[in-house]
Structure 1
């Protein structure tokens, strides 16, 4: 959308006012007792359950609009809510509330010979903006985690989820109100104007961290254009590697779950690697199990030689995040070849080895460069809730600040507290 200078100025002023309100609210939240933040989270969970009927109606309208726009089934699955998913959001807020207060936690302390004492204590990051696309639950998880860690939140959801997100926001703000905390601690960008996202990128005096949750194009744009520090990942090109020592029945169960439990999540397995030593025996039942689960299988020449009915895999497939019921299969000559494939094609998100050989598993866990590495467990466990964090604001695949599922404690920084008794420096 192209604006006149006047409307561009109005949008800018509107976003600055939003940022000012968030900053003021964050100072209050930062200084609030943990019990007050817990009360807000628990009350938001109650409010969320209370609006479930209206939220389902709003979500149905969002889903209908998305279908009219031609969105695919994977997108619709991420957008759609049901009673179970709403209850899951409420339980996540309660789980976040139940965790220890991350603020003020002392993670290092020491003393000098002259009696001066030092502590490193956790403090909030400040104002966190979260840009996301179709998943409405991101609004509840992000707002809840940020609040727990003493931060304020600015949410910018996609137009497809607008009705759902606005209702979730109302539940979060009701919780804040009941706890006596400022409602501006959780905000939503008040316009669907695409230029508002560009405004967020430039709000360095108001926003301390920007987290994108969505497809590769969204995350890439945020990482390329934002002047605000960014925490995010581009995609989850994840692998499940069936080692020669793997138990076949375990491999079938883990691989089918890793691919098909929910195909549209970033923790889904996209490529199955299988040891050449067991491929002739193991691959046919693995392919059958995947096909029976309605998954399309695409393989390299060696895989097709064993299972001629599967589709041929192209060079591009190994770097594709399908987010759909499609999986690639490659036959590899042992652990070194599997590691080499992951080094080349993995996105640093989640990697799994299925093996009974502990030495091979230990080597995989220590040598694979990814935020999460797993042994004999589905990659679908790449989720902050499953890690015991209550929820997550995303999976960070970079190496700075946070890596892996980002929970409330990861939405803090630290400062140093120095205690003396009249010490002066010579």
Structure 2
């Protein structure tokens, strides 16, 4: 019996995009939106169920989305990395004022909280909704949740008739793109989906990496040594905190310090953690702007009968003054009876408290990841890999880390914008 010959099966074609962006966080969403609005066909992929979890939890749910005090001409003032100057080009072309203008077009109210830090008035959800609306305006396709299984590159044909392209195998099938943008972030806060995908892909294509470690993270101390201070958990006060050696190598911040059961946190410690090196001490002035040695000498000259701890409570939280004076019997007496040498030693210790952390709270508490894709492998202007055409790295995955206070989000917007401009020009 003759076999039945039916109509041929339709050919299965792999979807083609001008650009595929992997990572739907701040940088990925913004880059996809900008590229889509410039007429490119863009696909945005993320393995998580929801977009932009870091935006959602930032700033207590209101997102510290930028900082008005950023000086794009001197990024080394607010950024850390092997070469902070790398960020200058992108930051100067997309400024905090540019992002503020975008929020105003979407009628999102915001306010300044502290030192140029801008927050949404209502919720970070306003910012996420804005980014999704911008993506929709650019007809960006979004696959989420969708895992990327493999990425391969096909070089351009020798005769120049076809450009190089990226072949991405995903949970939802394969896609091909002329350009591939990696915006997968760092290792911080794994509970919201952080992975090392971006670093592994960089290594796949031969890009060098700068050693990664937690940044903007609380510092921890040996349990026995920390015992006198563990009782102060929850206590906060303004301090001057520093680390490093010499004038050029020393970093200092004036922010609030928070005592915890395991060590120190608060804005002051988060800031200094990005500069602290394991095994080195940090120095803390617990009463910045006050000469405690002189103040105590004057109190003794007035024949003050108050206990030293009570006298110190004029300048320090009472719990801290009590805990500090409890460490030495010479400090547990009325001020008028204290020896001059004991007063000098007390004032000196409070002004130059030097402690050596034993570690950090790690990526689970870190707000960012220090290190990442080595900027020497990327174009400062476009964020494209110098040795791998059409491959871009933006945002936190790159070795550019900002201070606490909105600087990292501004790097996300600026690097995404620089990349999207380049994609549109290809």
Larger CA Rg, structure 1 vs 2: 2
**In proportion to residue count, which structure has more helix?**
1
TM-score (norm 2): 0.28
Higher relative CO (Cα under 8 Å, sequence separation at least 6) belongs to: 2
